[in-house]
Structure formats: structure tokens, C-alpha cells
Amino acid sequence: MVVIVAGVIAAIVASAYLVGNQLGTDTAQLRAASSAAPSAAPATGTPRKVAAAARPPAAPPPQLGVQPVSGPGRPPLPLEHGGPFGSRRTTGTPQVALTFDDGPDPAQTPQALALLRQYGVKATFCLVGINVKAFPGLVRQIARDGHTFCNHSWRHDIRLGARPKAAIRADLLRTNEAIRAAVPGARVSYYRQPGGAWTAPVVAVAREIGMTSLHWTVDPQDWRRPSAGSIASTVNSSTTSGAIILLHDAGGDRRSTIAALRSILPNLGRRFQLGALPPGIDPPRMHGHEWPLKVGQT
């Protein structure tokens, strides 16, 4: 009897040892598997939804210089509620932007470029297509000096915004192509409607092509040919942080504007950071410090 009881006890001990050994092996395998594979849903608590596992992986963030900001439907700056039909009236940062319309002009654009170079200021040039075609060397000089391009229609058509969308698109694309013929690979990320005669269709077409519609904050009306002192006084007294300033380097006699720059550039340079609008690689830095220059910026 004692022998039988001893045998039963021995069998029970052996079975317990085998079960414990197997459990230890299984636990080690589970730990190894969990370290090599993504974590599964917890055994307790609310289980994960099956649909979540079926979602595609998130796209990697765009790489600067590889994925440009500008392009069809992707202009570099958002619409602004304060501007006509969403056009931009400010830079979106504390930086102040000088813009020059109607060029290039063989007499006056080089003078404007020389003064900008002298004071170390970058600007945005809104170019008319027929002038681009006539003076491609000046377009290349604008690019070499590090300024930003803006489309100003093919022949300064004030009524362009009232035309059919197909006509607007053809006009804007023709002007962009002329700029890129002069400067291959140039980014044209802005459009300015001649006369400020904005309409919803012209803003929409510009955006579809990949251009921000560019209005202004300060307008000394230099196209009326006031004195240099009047132009400088208006700009110097009216400019505030984030302003976009409208000036002209072409479209008529702009000697007063060129002369006014000798006051405007040092005056504003002491009070603000002056710079070109971003041409389409990097968004503006909201703190207003230097806008980065990356590959592809012109």
C-alpha cells in the first residue's frame, strides 16, 4: 500500500515539473516574439478596432528641396481674408516686402537692382510677359541677385480677371513660360493682377496653377509720377510690420521711384527686416527672422 501511494506521489511531481518547464518555454517564446514584432492589443481593457489595423501607413513628411511647396493647387502662402478675394495684403510675418511692378525695363530696372544690391535688400519683381520676352537678360539678372519672381500678366491686362477662365489660364501660363524660358527652372509662385482689379476667377486660376495672388498694404501711387519726396514720405510713414509695398520700376517714367529708394531703403532697413517673399521651397518663419534660402530658391 505504501509503495502504491509513493508511486502516485512521484507521478504527480513529475507531471508538475513537465508542465512548469513547458510554461517557461512558452513564456520565453512569447517574450521573444513580442520584442521582434509590433505590439499587439492588450489582453485586458478596450480592444483595438479592427479597422485601425487596416489603415495605410502615414506618408512620410516632405523633404525640403525634394517636395516643393509651390505647384498646382499648392501655392506658397495661404489665402488672406483681408485681401481682395483672398489675395495677400501682408507677408504673414513681421518681415516687410518691397515689390516692383511692370518690368523689366532696360533703363530703370538695372538702377533699382543696383540700389537693392547696395543696401543688401531682396525684393519681389512682378513681371509683364511682353517685357520678359523683350529683355530676358534683365530677368536673368533679377534671378542672379536673388530676388523672387511674380507674374503680372502677359501685357498688363487690367480686364483679365473678367475674362473666361480659359483665357485667364492661357495668359498666366504664357507669362510663366516666358520667365522660365529666360531662367530655366525658375519658380513663379505669385500673381499680381494689373490695376489691382481682382476677381474671384483670376484668384482661383492663379491658385490652381500654383501662385499666390499678391495684393499690397502700402501704395504711394508712384504710377501717377509724384515727386520722389512724396513717394518716400508715404512709404516711410505708412509701412508697418508685415507690409507689402507696391512700387514700379517700369510702365513709364519711374525716375522719382528710383530716387525715392535712396530714402526708403535705409529708412525701412533701420526699422524692419526687408526681404523677398518666399519663392516656394520653405514656408515663412513666423518669428520673422531670416527666411531660409534652400535649393531652388531664386
Give the active site residues. 101, 248
Per DSSP, the three-state class of 277 is coil
In whole angstroms, how large is the CA radius of gyration of the chain? 32
Going through 232-274 in order, the beta strands assigned E by DSSP cover 244-248
- Give residue 87's identity as a one-letter amino acid code: S
What is the Cα–Cα distance from 110 to 116, expressed in whole angstroms?
10
Distances (CA, A) of 63 to 153, 284, 285, 294: 32, 16, 17, 11
What are the phi and psi torsion angles at 90 (to 5°)?
-135, 170
Per DSSP, the three-state class of 248 is strand
* CB distance 104 to 132 below 8 Å: yes
What is the Cα–Cα distance from 126 to 154, expressed in whole angstroms?
11
